[in-house]
Structures are given as C-alpha cells and as structure tokens.
Amino acid sequence: MSRQVEDFVPLNPEQVSIYSCGPTVYDYIHMGNARTALVTDIIRRYLAYRGYNVKLVQNLTDIDDKIINRAAEVGVSAKQLAHENGEAFFEDSQRLGIHPADVHPKATEHIPEMISLIQTLLDKGAAYVIDGSVYYRVNQFAEYGKLSNRKPEDLLAGARVEVDERKEDPRDFDMWKAAKPGEPAWESPWGRGRPGWHIECSAMAMKHLGETIDIHAGGEDLLFPHHENEIAQSELATGCTFARYWVHVAFLKIDGTRMGKSEQNFILLRDALDNYPTEVIRHFLVSAHYRHPLDYNPESLTKSEGALRRLNNCLDALKKYEGQFEENGIETSSLQDAVQVMKSQFTAAMDTDFNTAQALGAIFTLVGEVNRSLSASNKAYAPALAQAYQALTETCEVLGIYNLDAQDSSNVEQHDQLVDLLLEIRQDARSRKDWDTSDKIRDRLKELNIEIQDTREGATWKIVS
C-alpha cells in the first residue's frame, strides 16, 4: 500500500498468515493464473526456508456470475461445473509442483460467515437493502481508494459495477444478490440470494486467518475493485487493518498483450505442461520479478530448457559428493567461498521483495563456478563440492526448479530402460549365436548386481545384493 519495499514484521513472530485469491472455477486455469499461484507458492517456500511457520489460505470462488453463465452454456449445474473445474485446478497445480494451501475454502461453504459480516455492516449503517439485495455504502469508508491510489472521480470507471439506478451511489457494490429464477440461492435475512464476489474473500480470510492478515496476494487485475472492496468491507466491520502487506503479480503477456480469457489469447496451464517439463515452466515464470510483466513465447521456454539442462548436468555431477563434508587433505577454498557468496546473494535477492530473477542469477553463477572446478586439473576437494550440492539443491527447491524426488524417479526409469536395451542387444547376439557378446553382457551386468535369468518367454532381470 505504501508503494515501497517495507521491512517484513509478521503480526505473530511464530507464524506468518497469507491469503491468496484463488481461481473462479468456471474453466481451466491458464498460464497467467498459474503465475500468480506460483508466486504465492514460492513466497511460502522462501519464508519456510528462512525459518517461519506459514499458514496459507487460498480460496476457490465456486459461485459467481461467470460460473452461472458458463454452466448454462454447457448445460450443467453451476455446482457440477465448479466442482469439476476445482478438481482440475488442483490437478494442474500439483503438476506444476505447487504445494497445496493449508486451507482451500470454498465460497459456498462459508455462506453463514458472509451473512454475518453483511449484517455487521448493515448494523453499522455501512450497507442498505434494496429488494432483497444488499449494497455497501462506499461513502461510509473515508479511505476508499487507498490501495489503488485512485481519486474519487476515477473510481467508478474501473469498478465494473453493474448499472443499477436503485443504488444510492453508482460506486456502491453488492454484497448480497437477490435470487434470480434458475440460479443457485441460499436463505438470508433479506430473502433468498447469493453472495457478491468481494464479500466472499473478506469472510473466508477472516474465518481462517483472523481480522488482520500478514500478506494478501493476488493478480494485479484484482487490485481494483476487488482488493479495494475487501479492505473497505473488512476494516469498517472490524476497525482493524485488513492486510499488512500486499503482493500483486503482474500480467503474463503473449505477443505484447495481456494473456486472458476475455482476450481469447490464453495458453492453458495443462497444455503447457503437456509440452514442457514442470521445472522448465517454473523457471520461465520466475525468470522475471513478479511485479514485472512477462512475455510467453516459445523462445523463452527454449531458453529455460537450456538453463535447466545446464543446472541438471551440474547437479548430476555433484550428487556423488552428497554428504561428504569431511575429508583429509588440502582444502580448496575458492569454491567454498563461492558457495557462501551464492547463499548470501540468493537471500539478499529474495529478501528484497522476492526478486526471483536475481536469485536465479546467483544460482547459475555458482553453477559456473562448480563446472570450472569439476573440469580443472586440481579439482576442488569433496567437502566443497558437497557444500555446493547442498546449497544448490536447497535454493533450487525454494524456487521449485529442481525436484530431487523427480530426478531420482527419472534416473530409475532411465536405468531400467538401459538394462532393457542391453537385454535386447544380448538377445540379438544370441540369435546370431554370438555367445561371447551374450556372455559378456551377462557377466558385466552381474558385476553391477544385475542378474539375468533366461526363460522360455525371454530374458528377465533383477537387482541382487
């Protein structure tokens, strides 16, 4: 809100609370949506890396005009559409390596909390009822516009409020919408209806994190009116600061234009994941600071593929030194110095408003130092290489660009494929009665603790101790 970097001091030193606006589940998420979710994931990972306990709440908006309209288009219920797309969101997020939030509240499961919050605002004179709909009185909140830094005369233009001549002020926004025929509705003191979009997040955030939260995250398109309205409702109702730090993620662009469903130029995350490995997409999405726009194009993904190949080759070469922190002999300290420099630069970059671009730079500078050490005639001694391996894997895990478990799984699969290939070559040799080659393959595999068994159905193999 101050438009500058602030020292981070959580309300509770023992736990950081984060609320992130999740998707409106009327369709699959696209790469632009994924960028926002990924930034939140990395903020949470980094705060944990720095020793904080973090509670992350990321909602699902499962009742909204867009959901109702899309459900009518495809001929299903709004509930079914929201459920299917909500499950797809979790599936796509998991494929991108995004850790689940501690709580994923759904709007439809928090109707009582929303009704209670609306009633509080009515009691305070900050809202009014018209024909079963409830509207918030914007002029009752003197600080309205403080987040978006807009002048009162500019507020209406960006509000995207529905034209309704019954409202006291054109800027007033709905918190409860009277039921329309065929639409989902719930009972309320003002009649059957459904909540407005803005009240949903206020109620869910306060339900799970309290009246004041540390960090509120979302896409920059939510800054106004959504986040502005959240502040107005929440702070007038409680008298407390709603969110202490705001994180707004810049748009992902394609051909210089904002990626979005309304622009019809979006790339679905699941389609991108079918074409590129998870770590490549994550590397691309963190290659720019989250507040800076980022252009999606094949050239950028190709660059990320090359960078990740270089990183993986380096870590594969280092892995055999894992845990070898003690060794007799002459110490080569230059690499150890480089490790400490990287860790310091990585922390400084991430401490400064989560600058992932600079953090990546620090990581790949150390990769270069490691490669030089590995290729030099006077190679660095094992403890230095072990320290480099540990530092690189820990920092890469924060950004999610190197998944050790996935690499291990990939290596196992590659190992199995190589053994199968050798068995095919051996079978070809046997069919030619080339017993020397056949025996050589069998004996060499046995030296590697791989035992071949010849059966009528063909050769099989197993690993023996």
Average pLDDT of the residues of the chain: 90
- The residue out of 359, 378, 402 marking a domain boundary is 402
Report if residue 145 sits inside a domain: yes
Number of domains in the chain: 3
Token pair 């499961």 is found at 109
Determine the pLDDT at residue 327: 57
Nearest to 60 by CA among 243, 200, 175, 230: 200
Q: Is the confidence at residue 409, as pLDDT, over 50?
A: no
Q: Check if the beta carbon of residue 166 is closer than 8 Å to that of residue 158.
A: no
Domain containing 438 equals 406-463
Residues 6+ apart with CB under 8 A from 439: none
pLDDT category of residue 465 using cuts at 50, 70 and 90: very low
Segments in 286-403 forming alpha helices (H): 298-318, 333-351, 356-375, 382-399
Report if residue 24 sits inside a domain: yes
330-355 burial, b if ≥16 CB within 10 A, otherwise e? Answer: eebeebbebbeebbebbbebbeebbb
Other CB atoms within 10 Å distance of the CB of residue 48: 14
Report if residue 284 sits inside a domain: no
Of the listed ranges 280-284, 371-375, 410-414, the least confidently predicted one is 410-414
Look at strands 294-295 and 257-258 and give their pairing.
unpaired
Can you spell out the DSSP letters for 267-315? -BHHHHHHHS-HHHHHHHHTSS-TTS-EE--HHHHHHHHHHHHHHHHHH
Determine the pLDDT at residue 411: 52
Of the listed ranges 19-28, 292-301, 451-460, the least confidently predicted one is 451-460
Look at strands 16-20 and 213-219 and give their pairing.
parallel
Report if residue 10 sits inside a domain: no
Q: How far apart are CA 348 and CA 342, in angstroms?
A: 10
- The CATH number of whichever domain residue 304 belongs to comes to 1.20.120.640
Give the angle 234-127-162 at the CA atoms, nearest 5°. 95
Q: Is the confidence at residue 72, as pLDDT, over 50?
A: yes
Note whether 316 and 352 are same-domain residues.
yes
Give the angle 375-379-382 at the CA atoms, nearest 5°. 120
Between 435 and 242, the more confident residue is: 242
Note whether 87 and 178 are same-domain residues.
yes
Note whether 49 and 175 are same-domain residues.
yes
> Could you tell me the sign of the dihedral formed by the alpha carbons of 31, 33, 36, 42, in that order?
negative
pLDDT category of residue 404 using cuts at 50, 70 and 90: low
pLDDT category of residue 331 using cuts at 50, 70 and 90: low
Q: How far apart are CA 146 and CA 241, in angstroms?
A: 12
- The CATH number of whichever domain residue 149 belongs to comes to 3.40.50.620
Run of H or E including 462: strand 458-463
Q: How far apart are CA 328 and CA 331, in angstroms?
A: 9
Nearest to 226 by CA among 57, 61, 38: 61
Q: How far apart are CA 174 and CA 197, in angstroms?
A: 8
Note whether 134 and 211 are same-domain residues.
yes
Determine the pLDDT at residue 412: 53
Note whether 149 and 44 are same-domain residues.
yes
Other CB atoms within 10 Å distance of the CB of residue 146: 14
Q: Is the confidence at residue 153, as pLDDT, over 90?
A: no
- The residue out of 271, 289, 318 marking a domain boundary is 271
Residues 6+ apart with CB under 8 A from 52: 10, 15, 16
Note whether 389 and 421 are same-domain residues.
no
Other CB atoms within 10 Å distance of the CB of residue 7: 5
Note whether 398 and 412 are same-domain residues.
no
Report if residue 1 sits inside a domain: no
pLDDT tens per residue across span 9-32:
999 998 999 999 999 999 999 999
Of the listed ranges 138-142, 190-194, 217-221, 376-380, the least confidently predicted one is 376-380
306-329 burial, b if ≥16 CB within 10 A, otherwise e? Answer: ebbeebbebbeebbebeeeeeeee
Q: How far apart are CA 350 and CA 256, in angstroms?
A: 27
Report if residue 283 sits inside a domain: no
